[in-house]
Every structure is written in structure tokens, then in C-alpha cells.
Amino acid sequence: EEFLKKLPKVELHAHLNGSLGIESLRDLAERLYGSTSEEFSQLCQRFIQFDRNSDLDACFKKFSFVHELTSTVEGLRYATELAVRDFDKDNVQYVEIRTTPKANSNYSRRDYLQTVIDAIRTAREKYPRILVKLLPSINRAEPLAAAEETVSLSIEFARSHPDLVLGIDFSGNPGKGRFADFVPILSRARDMGLKLVIHCAEIENPPEVKEMLQFGMSRCGHGTFLDPIDITYLKERNIAIECCLTSNLKSGTVPDLKEHHLKRLMKADAHKVLCTDDSGVFDTTLSKEFLLASEVFGLSRNQCISLTLEAVHHSLANDEERNQMAVKVKDYAASLA
């Protein structure tokens, strides 16, 4: 729908390596390896195919396909630019990109973050309409030492790039690692002024959900298995739940979109935002997510505008930036009247 495509959208839950559309994957491979082979195109096609039997574990395996392409400084730099290009193409005016700093024979975690930061700065010049922020991620499936390093580097980069590095994301396979083990590390990040966005209740695990809610967060990722008491708890604390419809459907955590928890959140009038999660892996865009929500839950145009303003409110940007974003959304709404 043209209305949704032109809406100056706000994306708050997007993983870098999951956010490259099929064309960008091809562009990236072409840049890295010269012309792309038919074989590679087929691989890309298979990459975005919706496999009915896929589950969360299968989805996590898919990331290794992109991780190979971003395993060099050049690949990572170009991938970051392409991800920004893809969001800009969809008329996203603001995006918080999250990514797990990695270390391999080509780069250290420090190099990884520096490369992504440099690429975001370049992308800002190429795509001046879109404002990009960075949230380094902790992968809960990795050892605590990796998380320690990510937090130390994030504190440092948040000091040298305060307009860009705003917080930390806690993600990775929710079946692995224990949240409680990461609490001291996450506390240090928060004490140093970093905001925390946490994947919470992505699978059924009530004890962990309680630990996470008690610990606190700036926003809740997914929240698929929150119970009504949890939802009220988040609502009272003005914490938004990041809803990713296609991602939840394709990774099997939600069996049918009609049953998606967005319905319960709307009924409870909880704080919620629509997000893509991994627009490349799940072959979606933020416009498509709004369209889906409109089709399944009957969202009106006004509700789409309100949801976008809600995303502005819950973004980690500063007041001035949020005011500017809100003005763009309101101007757009007024132009339709």
C-alpha cells in the first residue's frame, strides 16, 4: 500500500546481519567476489524461502550464510551500508541497528564495532534522510567473556560516539545460556549509562521472564509468551514490546498470525511497536509488517500513524531527534487530510 510505503517509519528492532534483502546479498557477493554466479543466486533464493517446518533453531542456522559474507572488514562495511540503503528505500526515517561484535582472523570485536560505526557514518552521507543508531548485541549463546568485552567496548564507543551508540541488546538463541549469568555484565552497562533492550519471553520460560522483568529494560524484544500480569507490569512502566509478525510466524514461535500476541497487546492497550527483526532472513520490510498488521488486525491509517508515533516515543534517540521524527510523521498525516 502506497500510504504505508510513504509513511516515515521508525524501526526499533533490526539485527544487522539479518537485515540484508536478497538484492543486497547479491550486491554484496558481487562486490566481494566479482560477478555473482547462478549458484549464488539460487543460494539467496533458498535463504529467504519460507520453510513450513522451520523453527527457531533452523532460523539461527540461516545467519551463518550472511556471517560468511560479512567475515571480512570490507564485507562488513559494505553490508552495513547496504542494510541502511534497504531501510532508506522503505522510507524508514530512523533505525536502531543491533549487531553482535564478532572476532575472527580478519577482525577483532573492536575492529568489528569500529567498522560498523565508520560504515554508518558513510551511509549517513549517502542516505541523508535516514537517522541510524547502533546497539551492540550480547549473544547469550556465547561465553560470558564475549559479553564482557562487548560491554567494555560499548561503554568506550558510547563515549567517543555518543550520537550513535546508545545501548546494548541482549539476544541470541533463547534456548541457550542463562539470563541470570549475564546480570552483572548488563548491570555494569546500565550503570555506565547504556540503555538495555532485551529479547524476553521469545519462548516459554516463565522463571526467566520474571528475572528479566525484575531486572528491567528500556524495551522488550518479542514478548511472545508474556502473561497478562507481565503485560500489565510493562504497561505500567511505559516499556514497549517490539512485535515482529513475519519473524515470529516464520520462526514458528507463533503458529498463526491471528493468534499473534499483538492482538492481546492491543486489547490491553499496552505499549507496542511494529518491527522487522530480520527483514532479509524473513523477506519482509517495515511497510509489509504494517500491511500485515492492517490485514490481520484491521489497523486503520490512524492506528498506523499512532503506532509510528509510539515508536518515536520509545526510540532511544534524544528529545530533539524525537521531536523531529514526530514532526515528519505528523506532517505526513496532515498531507493526507
Distance of closest approach, residue 195 Cβ to ligand 5GP, in angstroms: 17
Helix, strand, coil distribution of the chain in percent, nearest 5: 55, 15, 30
Nearer to ligand 5GP, 100 or 114 (CB): 100
C-alpha cell at 152: 567494555
CB-CB contact of 88 with 129 (8 Å):
yes
Residue nearer to ligand 5GP on the CB measure, 91 or 279:
279
To which residue does cell 572488514 refer? 73
Asked about 156 being catalytic, the answer comes back as: no
Instruction: In angstroms, give the least distance from the CB of 101 to ligand 5GP.
Output: 8
Q: Please return the burial class of 195, using the count of CB atoms within 10 Å of its CB with bins 0-12, 13-18 and 19+.
A: middle
HSE, side-chain direction, 13 A CA sphere, residue 121: 11
Choice between 167 and 174, CB closer to ligand 5GP? 174
- Cβ at position 309, least distance to ligand 5GP in Å: 25
Nearer to ligand 5GP, 99 or 285 (CB): 99
User: Rounded to the nearest whole angstrom, what is the least distance from the CB of residue 2 to ligand 5GP in the complex?
Assistant: 29
If the CB atoms of residues 9 and 222 are measured against ligand 5GP, the closer one turns out to be 222
- The Cα angle at residue 60 between residues 54 and 64, in degrees rounded to 5: 120
User: Least Å distance between CB 15 and ligand 5GP?
Assistant: 4
Hunting for cell 510513504 — which residue is that? 6
Annotated catalytic residue: which of 81, 96, 149, 202? 202
Closer to ligand 5GP by Cβ: residue 8 or 251: 251
Residue 215 CB, shortest distance to ligand 5GP, in Å, is 17
- The smaller minimum CB distance to ligand 5GP, of residues 140 and 271, is found at 140
Interface ranges with ligand 5GP (CB under 6 A): 15-18, 63, 99-100, 137, 139, 171-172, 174, 199, 202, 247, 277-278
- What is the strand order of the sheet 195-200 is part of? 9-15, 92-99, 131-139, 167-171, 195-200, 219-222, 240-243, 272-274
CA dist., res. 46 & res. 306, Å (int): 36
Residues in the chain, total: 337
**Smallest gap from residue 99 Cβ to ligand 5GP (A):** 3
Grid cell for residue 336:
493526507
Strand ranges for 100-254 from DSSP E? 131-139, 167-171, 195-200, 219-222, 240-243
- Paired with 195 in beta bridges are 167
| Measured distance CA(73)–CA(259) in Å, rounded | 42
Which DSSP helix (H) or strand (E) runs through 88? helix 73-89
Residue closest to 16 by CA, chosen among 128, 96, 124: 96
Positions marked active-site: 202
